[in-house]
Structure 1
């Protein structure tokens, strides 16, 4: 009995010691987890602070360049706009690279600020470097004298190259405007790295080959618009009953209804004041698509086509009723017609 009791006592002491060691080890592991969580939070906060300060500094630099265009001569304005454009593209890339550690609020604030910058850039360019319309006319002294009192307005008649203008030999924004029931095409040579504007189009089929810098769609009705990789942003405003397809860094869509978007986007799509907008992955293809992706600098492997932020829908955890995903069976796969 004594030996058995002693053995039981030793066994109990060993088990107690084992439990104490396990408890001690659990405390150590818990302390390590807490330490790692605290360090991780600290790193995230540091990254957030770095992003905020860097973004604000670069944003202020761009705004200063744009404000400096007022009253400057054409050469200075052109230089400032080129620098502002390059800085805006870099700021967009910086935002895309920082998305993983930003909160949704921080991301939305930065995207809204960036869109405001891009809008200011476009408006400053249009104001400081107004487009000059031109036409070639065969003139004689007789026709000059006869027609002098009734010269046609600059917009009269179709331009020699619709949607494109030249200002002092430099290329400006290109695109199409005020067209109905037409098939419209721009080649890579025409749009490469330029701002493209499509406005007031009705029942048109548009093909934009190449890689634009930005794409602006305004007052589009019943159109099919397909575009190659856009190196920065696409802005859609007042579009209805249309089908759109493009890759881009950022998409901002306003006042749009009953429109299908086949999208490749490396950040997140944003909609505001929209209804009946549906999304599917970008599926249009043409012979030089891969080359244009390389020109655009977009990440071919990153596509957040179904990550859509609706600025009019703030109910967390409940899907927005203003947009949907196009079912696979209903997605368009042939774009030749």
Structure 2
């Protein structure tokens, strides 16, 4: 083959190779365009689903709230029996509305969540005010029990100021307890226990406790912790919400449907929560999965209605931290090596 032929053949190879590379680049570019179009389509569909869920939540939540408000308006001028029935129905519907909100937190924006929580709190306040106005409490008394004998002491006068210790509050309406709450208040350096029979499905309040160990067995309806300092508080499954306010240097272990924590510092929370945990005006708060156990824990989970297999302990919303994509500096996850495992000491 002469030089001209060789050159022509080589040029043909080069041209063919260049065409193949060009074709490959075009195919890659076309594939990239297809993938990009698919991503945009998926993003658009996800956005549409999120908006649809948000619209459904908003219309359903506002509709249920309006129904409850209409119910409460029917208390005006009604006789006692009718008012009692209305308030029972309104209370049940409010509980269901709270559950609906808890179940919807995964797809709500923080703004939507705040607005709904504020509306629900306003509704709960209106319910309490309506009950107070329509069914004034006939009796309110603190009953102190001795820690050693655990016996009920005679009721003190309504104007007496309760001292430190165990307390139970009750209000009698038509012979039935309309409001019941139990707990501990104003105590230091004590080991405090409530049995399952004492707290089952009741509201529990712990307030102004310092350097105490508290064991709450059973399934409370709600749990309120206020002004807690250097305490270890272990609680059975709470069927609705746990509210923590002004807690510091403490260890908490609790399962619940919702956790709301305010003004809390340097506190560890061993948590089982079926919606999401919310913190506000907090710093130095750390989380780990709930690990306390006692003989009847599974029975108490059944009583509470909480989903044993659903735990969002590490999904924490900080209402003081709105920087998207950047973790809040106000809370952390407790490293596995540092987590408490022995609760008997």
Q: TM-score range by the shorter chain?
A: 0.7 to 0.9
* Alpha-carbon separation, structure 2, partners of 1:278 and 1:36: 36
Compute the displacement of 1:53 (Å): 0.1
Deviation at 1:265, TM superposition (A): 0.9
User: In structure 2, which of residues 85, 97, 108 is the aligned counterpart of residue 79 of structure 1?
Assistant: 85
Shift of residue 35 of structure 1?
6.1
Partner residue of 2:198 out of 170, 177, 190: 190
Instruction: Report which stretch shifted further, 95-104 or 172-181.
Output: 95-104
Structure 1 residues 63 and 287: CA distance shift in structure 2, 3 A: farther
Q: Is the 8 A contact 2:214 2:234 kept in 1?
A: yes
Match of 1:154 in 2: 158
Cα deviation code 1:140-196 (max 9, x no counterpart) = xxxxxxxxxxxx743647799722425133262212253313333222233222222
Query: Aligned pair 1:249/2:257, yes or no?
Result: yes
| 2:186 equivalent to 1:179 | yes
Matched, 1:132 2:136: no
Matched, 1:93 2:89: no
Contact 2:164 2:187 in 1 (8 A): no
Question: Which runs of no fewer than 5 residues in structure 1 stay unpaired?
Answer: 1-14, 137-151
TM superposition score normalised by structure 2: 0.74
Matches of 1:108 and 1:101, distance apart in 2: 13
The residue matched to 2:65 in structure 1 has which SS? helix
1:224 is the counterpart of 2:228 = no
| Preserved CA contact (<8 Å) 1:133 1:154 | yes
Q: Do structure 1's residue 165 and structure 2's residue 170 form an aligned pair?
A: yes
SS at match of 2:140: coil
Alignment partners' CA distance in 2, 1:282 and 1:131: 41
Gaps of 5+ in 2: 1-19, 144-155
Q: 1:274 to 1:26 in 2, by over 3 A?
A: closer
How large is the Cα RMSD of the aligned pairs?
3.9
Shift of 1:324: 1.9
> Is the contact between residue 131 and residue 165 of structure 1 (CA under 8 Å) also seen in structure 2?
no
1:114 alignment counterpart:
120
Q: 1:67 to 1:243 in 2, by over 3 A?
A: farther
1:94-127: per-residue Cα shift (whole Å, max 9, x none)? 2343344433433343344334444555565567
SS of 2:337's partner is: helix
> 2:212 aligned with 1:238, yes or no?
no
Question: Which stretch of the first structure deviates more once superposed, 38-47 or 317-326?
Answer: 38-47
Kindly indicate whether the alpha-carbon contact (under 8 Å) linking 2:142 and 2:167 is maintained by their aligned counterparts in 1.
no
**Count of equivalent residues:** 316
Shift of 1:134: 4.8
Partners of 2:164 and 2:185 within 8 A in 1: no
Distance 2:138 2:313 in 1: 35
Per the TM alignment, residue 301 of structure 1 is displaced from its structure 2 partner at its CA by: 1.3
Q: In the alignment, is residue 267 of structure 1 matched against residue 275 of structure 2?
A: yes
Match of 2:67 among 58, 61, 72: 61
Contact 2:102 2:258 in 1 (8 A): no
Secondary structure at 1:60's aligned position in 2? helix
- TM-score, structure 1 length as denominator? 0.75
